[in-house]
Structures are given as structure tokens and as C-alpha cells.
Chains A and B, each alone.
Chain A
Amino acid sequence: MSRKAMTGNGAIALALKQAEPDVMSAYPITPQTEIAQNYAQFVADGAVKTEYIAVESEHSAMSAAIGSAAAGARTITATSSQGFALMWEMLFIAASLRLPITMPVITRALSGPINIHCDHSDSMGGRDCGWVQLYGEDAQEGYDNAIQAFRIAEHMDVRLPVMTMIDGFIISGAIGPLEVLQDDQVKQFVGPYEPIHPLLDIDNPVTVGAFDSLGGWYFEHKVTQNMAMDKAMSVIESVGREYGQLTGREYSHFKTHMIEDADIVLVAIGSAAGNVKTMVDRLRAGGVKVGMMKVRTFRPFPHLQVAGALAGARVIGVMDRSDSFGAQGGPLFTEIRSAMFEAPRRPQTFNFIYGLGGRDIFPDDIEGAVRLLEKAAAGEEISQKRYYLNVREVSLDGQA
């Protein structure tokens, strides 16, 4: 293992290079571009055996990835934001064909208005497309998740595509320390690829993507897809443990900090988890019984484990980096609240939406959220459940 200074994108491109898949199809988009171009350079330098398809759109990136994976090749792509939205149709098809494609997603706000900076509206919008979704806090987790993704996707109990998120710019473009495995360690961990029913097997020709309509098996296919998602739950854990044995960095569905005796728990996902942790430590020093949970696995959502871990909390504040228009709160909030519904002692839950379009979140914002949660913990009746952090006051009549 060696230690390097790298951008989040650089770290992920390196992880992909070390895994050395057969095919990459990619289209550049801010802030993912560095991955697309770094990998193209690896190919140009003969550093990898990978064949690179410089497609003309993200829709074709995912379509070509589907063709390649169905043909029997280990296949990757990477995207962000509008690119993610453009490949939306194909994300569902990749999952339904049970193709173990892996894809780093460098999260970025969705248009409109157009905005190139970080939030989770791209990947969170894709939470029901049938992909396993893992969120990383920093470049190290982005690197580690990108490597583990192959093992999870290709596991015979799972055989589903896996996307691994890091936050656009905040992580993708920032240089930080990275523990890097040796190439052969990554290759050994990832292992050889065994395709199932590949198109290129001329002795066993196969039809992929058949018409499965009324009177067919569409419903059953969807149910088995969800069964595979259920199975992914324990595979993510076992792969995370094995990765821990190799690196000392063990992974599961989430991490907690100072949660055991906490009355108040903040739940975060992505890079803001680091800010939240700092604030938890500061507030603890001031006597506030606050803890935190950082969610890694969003699909499948580990609701039972989450409910178990949060069982002692009186008040939960869920931090979402994306909104869900017309819903009761952001995507993480609705999952957490639903997970806690059947808890023996149901906690109060509040939603803090922050950081849309890359808006900064400051220590004061997090402290403000905790102060509100303290009041709820003290028994004060607070009917408003959803809050926006660090947002200017706006109204529908156009007056700011």
C-alpha cells in the first residue's frame, strides 16, 4: 500500500485502471470529465488492456455498456448530472438484464436552471432504477467503493449493476490523501470475470432483451430483480469485510459516531458527513448528547440495521443534499423515517435540506439544526418538519 495525493476523480480513475476491465464506454461531462480523459490516456499509453468506446452521448455510453456486458466483457462507464439523466432509460434496462456494469457517479445538480456544482439530485433521482447505490464521503471511499463495486455486481447472488457516488467538485476536484493498493492486490481482490449467457458464445446463442408483455413473465422478472437486491445486502457486507482484511478499512452499510448514548442523531450521506462529524465532536464538548450516522448503502436501503442503530435516538435530523418536489421530504429523510416507523420507541424526525447546486454548508448551519433538534428532544412541540439550510428567504410572489 502506498500513500498519494490525488483528486477524487484521479483516485477513481486509478481504481478503475487497477481493476482493468475489458471495456469502458464513456462520454465526458463536468465534473466526471477527468475520469473519462484519464482513462483514455491509460488506454493511449498501453497501460491497460481495456478497449475504450468514446461514445457520442451518455445514452449511447450506457447502451454500449449494455451491449458489451451482454456480450461477456467486464464493462464500466462513469457519469454526472445531465449525463445520468440522459442514460436514465438505459439504467433500468441494464439492471433488468442483470448486467454487472459498474459506474462511478460524480454527483452534480440537475438542470434547470443549469448548474455544474454538487448535489445529489442526479443519483437520488435514479434510486429506483434497480442499481445498487453506494455513497462515499471522500476520495478514499470513492476509490474503495469503485473497487468493491466489481465484486458486489458480479457476485452470483446479485448480478446487478452498481453505481458508486462521490460529491462533484467538493471531492472529485479536491486533492487529498489516498491510500493506494498495489495493482496486483486490486486484480486479485476483484478476481476473474465470469459472464453468464454471453452473446459471444457461438455454441450457445442467446436472445437478450426479449419482448415480455401481457401474458409473459414481466412481473416475475421484476420480483426476482428485487430478490437480487435483497441478496445484495449481505454481499455488500461480506465484500466490505474482506476489503477490510486487505486494507484495514472495513465497510458496511453505514458508519456511526457517538451514537450509543445520543438523544439526537444527525444522518448524513456524502461529503457533508465530514462536516457533521466535526460539529458532533464540537457540540459533544459543549455537553450536547448528539451523534451521527453516515449512510453508505442507499440501494438496497438497510432499513432494519438502520432502525436498530437508531433505536436509542429521541430525535433524528436527516440531512438531504437533494429535494423531492411534493414529497414529505428528501429521499434520505423518507427512507429513514420509514425505517423508524416500526421502532419500539418511534423518534421524532426532521429533514434538513442543504447544499443544492453546490451551496456551501457552514458549521453554524449544522449547529442551528442541532439546536432545533434539542428543543424537540426537550419536549417542545415543533410541527414544521422540513428545513432548508443556508438558503435566502424567497416567496412565490417573486420577492426575495
Chain B
Amino acid sequence: MAKPKEIANRPERLTGGHRLCAGCGAPINVRQIMSVCPGPAVVSVATGCLEVSSTIYPYTAWKDSMIHSAFENAAATISGVETAFRALKKQGKISHDMYFVTFGGDGGTYDIGLQALSGAVERGHNFLYVCYDNGAYMNTGFQRSSATPCGAWTTTSPVGTESFGKTQNRKDLAEILVAHDIPYVATASPHNFKDLMNKAEKAFTTPGPAFINVISPCPRGWRTPGDQTIALAKEAVQSCYWPLYEVEHGKYKVNYKPRPERKTPVADWMKKQGRFAHLFKRPDGEKVLAEIQEYIDRKWQELLKKEECL
């Protein structure tokens, strides 16, 4: 990968003037990823915050060609674009190279778009799918998705006398993609920009489908100050809530392993977010927090074992 300073001087491919919130993780992730895209791209975006805020007609923040058609089908849409490219290239109607990338939020990826994503990677289209995971349907005002962490308040996993917020753990999406046996799967975080851009570059240059799940803090939905986005992403990784790893052709590599004394309790990270505030006030909160910690520790140990074995 080129030096970060050189990359930082490259022309922007998602320009300023878009209308995402201050402190939103999505455009930070998009700019880092697109900055290492090796050539012109077609970007397909699922309905969501990124799409509505970056393409308010008649304006667009995208310097590359961009297509949005619906919520659940960004991967199917890019399948068509990528196939058209191959068809026209085969006929000699196109001579240049191009890259194909999809951005979807967790709602558009874990939930409603899972089938289209599964189909597209199974067919082996040459594209990168990026899920910017902010842990809920933030665009419509914070409804739970299957990426919402246990214990989080959302408007459809509300807190009440009978409920401490979302009662289920997150769907492990990266592992679902690993199970598709595609060439490249990774998780990433915007605070570790070198790691993220390195992974994006690998994903762009690996032939066949690639998938990156990148954490994308949402100040509005997480109930956090806008200037804490990068710090919160970092602490998510340090607590092992959001491990950084990659799976190249089935081979696991954990990219960040905190020493045991540096691995922070997940409750410390949760305490900084309003969406978990109730857990620190209600009588059943302590038990829930302990269960969440237990779950995160178990998943972390499983990941380390996968790295050893696979």
C-alpha cells in the first residue's frame, strides 16, 4: 500500500457537501476505502443514510459512477453492472479496467439484503461488498436490525419494565460470508486507517468477490457526541466487541490482539453510549452486562482458535 500521506493527497472520490450527520462513520469509511481503489469504479449503494445523503437530486457527492435502485438488492444490482462490463469488454466495446464496489448499511446487508448478497458472492462476481455497520436502521430513526448488539435500546427494541432493550446477540455476518468460501473476507474499523485501507486494497485487487464489514459509529443512534466516533470505534476493537481479522482463501488472520491487560471491559465502551444507559441503572442491568461480556469473550476465544486451526 502507498504511504498514507500520499493517499491523503489523492483526489476525493466522495466529495464534501453531502448531508451525512457530523461525526457519522459512513463517509469516513467510504473515503478511506475509495482512496485505495486502483481505478475508476462503479459504486452500488443500498437505500440508507449514505445513499439518501450523498445523492440528493440534482446533486451527487460521487465522483465515480454510482447506482442506487432499492434497499435489498445492492449486491444484485452490482452483479448486473459487473456482468455488463464483462459482456462489453468481451466484445471489445470497452478497453479500460474498472472496479465494482457496493456499500450497504447493516439493515441492507444483514437483514433485507442478505439473500442478494449471498447470491452475488456465490456466483463469483468480481466486486467488493462493504457493510458499514452502525448497528441499527439509523436512517429511519433507530430500529433494531440483526446487527444491533444485545442490550441496546432502539425504537423497535425499546426499554420498558419488561424489556432491557434488544434481547438477542448480533448475527455473525463475516462468518456467514466466510462460509461462502469467497477469496477475501475482513472486518475493519476507521480508527485503524492503515489496516482498513490495506484490506480495501487487497479486496479490490483480489479477483472474485470480497467482503469487508466495517464498524461505523452513529452519533444519533448510539447517543454519543459527534467528536467521539473514532474513539468509540477504537474502543470497540480494544474490547474485542469488534475484532479486526481477515480471511484470505479460508486462512484466518487476527490483525489486532490486545494483551490481556489491555483488553478493556465491554461495559466501559457501552457506558459511553446513551443506547446502553438503561443497563447501568436498572436492577437486571448487571446480569445483562455480565452475559454480554461472556458472549464477547467466547466469540473472541473462538476467533483465536480459528486462526490457529484454519
The answer to whether B65 and A64 touch across the interface, beta carbons within 8 angstroms, is: no
Q: Which residue of A lies closest to B85 (CB)?
A: A200
Q: Shortest distance in angstroms between B87's beta carbon and chain A's nearest beta carbon? A: 4
Q: Which of B114-122, B220-228, B245-253, B268-276 lines the interface with chain A? A: B114-122
Q: Which positions 236-262 of chain A face chain B at CB distance < 8 Å?
A: none
Q: How far is the CA of A55 from the CA of B82 in the complex (A)?
A: 13
A-B contact list, 6 entries, CB within 8 Å: A53-B83, A55-B76, A60-B79, A66-B67, A68-B80, A206-B66
The answer to whether B76 and A22 touch across the interface, beta carbons within 8 angstroms, is: no
Q: A164 — which chain B residues lie within 8 A by C-beta?
A: none
Contact A67 B98, CB 8 Å, known A73-B84, A200-B65? no
Q: Which residue of A lies closest to B52 (CB)?
A: A211
Q: B26 — which chain A residues lie within 8 A by C-beta?
A: none
The answer to whether B84 and A90 touch across the interface, beta carbons within 8 angstroms, is: no
The answer to whether B80 and A65 touch across the interface, beta carbons within 8 angstroms, is: yes
Q: Check: B163 CB closer than 8 A to any chain A CB.
A: no
Q: Check: A219 CB closer than 8 A to any chain B CB.
A: no
Q: Which positions 40-67 of chain A face chain B at CB distance < 8 Å?
A: 49-51, 53-57, 59-60, 63-67
Q: B77 — which chain A residues lie within 8 A by C-beta?
A: 63-64, 66-67
Contact A55 B79, CB 8 Å, known A71-B42, A210-B57, A210-B60? yes
Q: Check: B88 CB closer than 8 A to any chain A CB.
A: yes
Contact A63 B80, CB 8 Å, known A23-B87, A205-B63, A217-B57? yes
The 5 closest A-B pairs by CB, nearest first: A67-B80, A56-B119, A64-B80, A71-B84, A73-B84
Q: Which residue of B lies closest to A209 (CB)?
A: B68
The answer to whether A211 and B65 touch across the interface, beta carbons within 8 angstroms, is: no
Q: How far is the CA of A50 from the CA of B79 in the complex (A)?
A: 15
A-B residue pair count with CB separations less than 8 angstroms: 170
Q: Which positions 203-219 of chain A face chain B at CB distance < 8 Å?
A: 205-213, 216-217
Interface residue range, chain B: 35 or more
The answer to whether A71 and B58 touch across the interface, beta carbons within 8 angstroms, is: no
The answer to whether A97 and B83 touch across the interface, beta carbons within 8 angstroms, is: no
The answer to whether B57 and A212 touch across the interface, beta carbons within 8 angstroms, is: yes
Given known contacts A68-B83, A75-B84, A90-B70, what 5 new A-B pairs fall within 8 Å (CB)? A25-B80, A64-B77, A64-B83, A71-B80, A211-B56
Contact A207 B55, CB 8 Å, known A200-B84, A200-B85? yes
The answer to whether A68 and B81 touch across the interface, beta carbons within 8 angstroms, is: yes
Q: B83 touches which one: A25, A49, A90, A217 (CB < 8 A)?
A: A25
Q: Shortest distance in angstroms between A96's beta carbon and chain B's nearest beta carbon? A: 10
Q: B97-120: contact bitstring with A at CB < 8 Å (1 yes, 0 no)?
A: 010000000000000000110111
The answer to whether B80 and A207 touch across the interface, beta carbons within 8 angstroms, is: no
Q: Check: B96 CB closer than 8 A to any chain A CB.
A: yes
The answer to whether B76 and A207 touch across the interface, beta carbons within 8 angstroms, is: no
The answer to whether B123 and A211 touch across the interface, beta carbons within 8 angstroms, is: no
Q: Shortest distance in angstroms between A214's beta carbon and chain B's nearest beta carbon? A: 11
Contact A67 B70, CB 8 Å, known A49-B91, A73-B87? no
Most buried by A among B66, B78, B83, B86: B83
Q: A22 touches which one: B78, B87, B122 (CB < 8 A)?
A: B87
Contact A63 B73, CB 8 Å, known A70-B81, A200-B42? yes
Contact A216 B70, CB 8 Å, known A51-B86, A70-B81, A200-B84? no
Q: B65 — which chain A residues lie within 8 A by C-beta?
A: 199-202, 205-208
Q: A326-353: contact bitstring with B at CB < 8 Å (1 yes, 0 no)?
A: 0000000000000000000000000000
Q: B67 touches which one: A22, A59, A73, A199 (CB < 8 A)?
A: A199
Q: A64-94: contact bitstring with B at CB < 8 Å (1 yes, 0 no)?
A: 1111111111010000000000000110010
Q: Shortest distance in angstroms between A155's beta carbon and chain B's nearest beta carbon? A: 21
Contact A216 B98, CB 8 Å, known A25-B80, A75-B84? no
Q: How far is the CA of A50 from the CA of B90 in the complex (A)?
A: 10
Most buried by B among A22, A66, A199: A199
Q: Check: B72 CB closer than 8 A to any chain A CB.
A: yes
Q: Shortest distance in angstroms between A79's beta carbon and chain B's nearest beta carbon? A: 15
Q: How far is the CA of A93 from the CA of B70 in the complex (A)?
A: 8
Q: How far is the CA of A201 from the CA of B98 in the complex (A)?
A: 10
Q: B79 — which chain A residues lie within 8 A by C-beta?
A: 25, 53, 55, 60, 63-64, 67
Q: Shortest distance in angstroms between A154's beta carbon and chain B's nearest beta carbon? A: 15
Q: B115 — which chain A residues lie within 8 A by C-beta?
A: 56-57, 60
Q: How far is the CA of A53 from the CA of B127 in the complex (A)?
A: 15
Q: How far is the CA of A76 from the CA of B62 in the complex (A)?
A: 28
Q: Check: B94 CB closer than 8 A to any chain A CB.
A: yes
Q: Shortest distance in angstroms between B295's beta carbon and chain A's nearest beta carbon? A: 31
Contact A63 B69, CB 8 Å, known A51-B83, A211-B51? yes
Q: Check: B64 CB closer than 8 A to any chain A CB.
A: yes
Q: A73 touches which one: B42, B44, B73, B88 (CB < 8 A)?
A: B88
Q: B73 — which chain A residues lie within 8 A by C-beta?
A: 59-60, 63, 90
Q: B51 — which chain A residues lie within 8 A by C-beta?
A: 211
Q: Shortest distance in angstroms between A305's beta carbon and chain B's nearest beta carbon? A: 35
Q: How far is the CA of A204 from the CA of B55 in the complex (A)?
A: 17
Q: Check: B207 CB closer than 8 A to any chain A CB.
A: no
